[in-house]
Amino acid sequence: MKRLTILAPLQQRPFRLLFSGQVISDLGDWLDTIALFTLIVYRWNMGASALATLSVALALPWAVIAPLAGVWADRWPRKTVMIGADL
């Protein structure tokens, strides 16, 4: 029997393309967040309360939408959910 490793999925080209595209997308999302934090703290000279307010504002939609999104994701086609989740 062939032993499977954690890197086994990377041997499949379609998975590599999906994975690398997602990594690039996630990197862009985090760079956007870091840029906002940097603007607030260093450029606009706002304090920790402004940074905390931005953090809550960024997290609040996830907390509100996540339970509903889970229900919808179970009912919709997987491909549609994957594409929609990255928009």
- What is the tens place of the pLDDT at every residue in 37-55? 999 989 998 988 989 999 9
The answer, yes or no, to whether residue 67 has pLDDT greater than 70, is yes
pTM over 0.85: no
Which residues, including other chains, have CB under 8 Å from residue 44's CB and lie 6 or more apart?
A: 50
**From residue 1, how far is each of 4, 10, 82 by CA, in Å?**
9, 19, 33
CA distances from 71 to 4, 55, 74 (A): 32, 26, 5
